[in-house]
Homo-oligomer: A and B are copies of this chain.
């Protein structure tokens, strides 16, 4: 059976191990520390840095395919691996579009995919010109390295823009989209060209961090859902993505607009571990190995995923026991991470027919695990 190497030891690699166990595939991870999330649960852990070509080359030896837990491996190192004959999925050429937001915008616009207005900006004057043309506030994004709301600034004036410009980060400006809600379209594409699309989901963000996913997105117009799935499959095909592609979308009055891309298992797909026939982690392994893709149907009418964020008290065991007793049908996924305020430490999934009840259950667990006092704020905490 094949060996898949995953660069990065985070929770995505950790959950990929669950899928690898079922498929009989050997998963090797490159971690920076033996206590990283995935390193705790894999037999084949190599310690090293994802920014060292030497470590990457040594890691790749004996792997049938190498894939990624995150987007932070420099493109030139992936190119060097490919030049040395290492099978990288996705490859450097595709992954660049998940690493550089300006490259992504230019390519997607050329393909005719719906995008907000954007421009590279190098000065406060550039931002002002953009704001005068497309309206204020303007969204400034670091072209590289942002995640979970980091690397994004919403500026209302030239003075505010000047502060961000002063940081020296390479930036682009984007129109602030007037969206109703955020959606995500998750698809897989295999090297020989098979594609598979999951139901389009709604993602709920707070302070730039995803806190809840509803699968499928409630009340989504079937034509818009089909358009979003085809859009994601088309982007995967045009960019030559192998593995998963998550397309984060804004839903507007006129349809959908692409926000961001990720080429790996994605937070918006965590509902699949209990809510879909094939988990996104299994699908990613199948895709990068060019194995036939799995069925993307949901197992229930609705699945709600709630992210678990750490609170002030790091000793969560009693709260963990409490939520298990409180809701025996809820599925808990812990990442083996130390608890810090606001850190993603796990997620829960609940599936069934009654969506408001499912949302309440997921929210209860997320709040209770953070701080029991948050559960009934009106009644005094």
Contacts and interface: CB of A to CB of B under 8 A. Distances in A.
Given A18-B22, A21-B17, A21-B18, A294 B336 contact: no
Given A1-B336, A292-B325, A41 B17 contact: yes
Interface in A1-43: 1, 14-15, 17-18, 20-24, 26, 34, 39-43
The 9 closest A-B pairs by CB, nearest first: A24-B334, A292-B325, A295-B329, A292-B324, A295-B328, A18-B18, A22-B333, A21-B41, A294-B328
Interface in A326-354: 328-329, 331-336, 346, 351
Interface in A303-337: 317, 320-321, 324-325, 328-329, 331-336
Interface residues of A, number: 45
A325 B24 CA distance: 17
B332 A23 contact: yes
A186 interface: no
B1 A334 contact: yes
Contact of A299 (B40, B299, B325, B333): B299
Interface in A268-304: 273, 277-278, 286, 291-295, 297, 299-300
Given A24-B335, A24-B346, A277 B329 contact: yes
A176 B294 CA distance: 44
A332 B22 contact: yes
Number of copies: 2
Contacts of A333: 22
Q: Is the interface of A mostly helix, strand, loop or mixed?
A: mixed
A139 interface: no
Given A24-B336, A334-B24, A336-B1, A321 B41 contact: no
Contact of A22 (B294, B297, B331): B331
Contact of A41 (B43, B293, B299): B43
A102 interface: no
Nearest to A282: B331
Nearest to A274: B277
A171 interface: no
Contact of A324 (B41, B277, B291): B291
A338 to B, nearest CB: 11
A325 to B, nearest CB: 4
B291 A321 contact: yes
A295 B329 CA distance: 5
Contact of A21 (B15, B277, B320): B15
Contacts of A23: 332, 334
A332 B293 CA distance: 12
A115 interface: no
A45 interface: yes
A14 B18 contact: no
Contacts of A346: 24
B43 A329 contact: no
Given A325-B292, A332-B22, A334-B23, A299 B300 contact: yes
B43 A324 contact: no
Nearest to A345: B24
A142 to B, nearest CB: 32
A372 B18 CA distance: 29
A22 B328 contact: no
B43 A40 contact: yes
A27 to B, nearest CB: 8
Contacts of A40: 26, 43
19 contacts: A14-B21, A15-B21, A17-B41, A18-B22, A22-B273, A22-B334, A24-B346, A40-B43, A41-B43, A42-B43, A43-B45, A278-B328, A291-B321, A291-B324, A292-B328, A294-B329, A295-B328, A297-B329, A299-B351
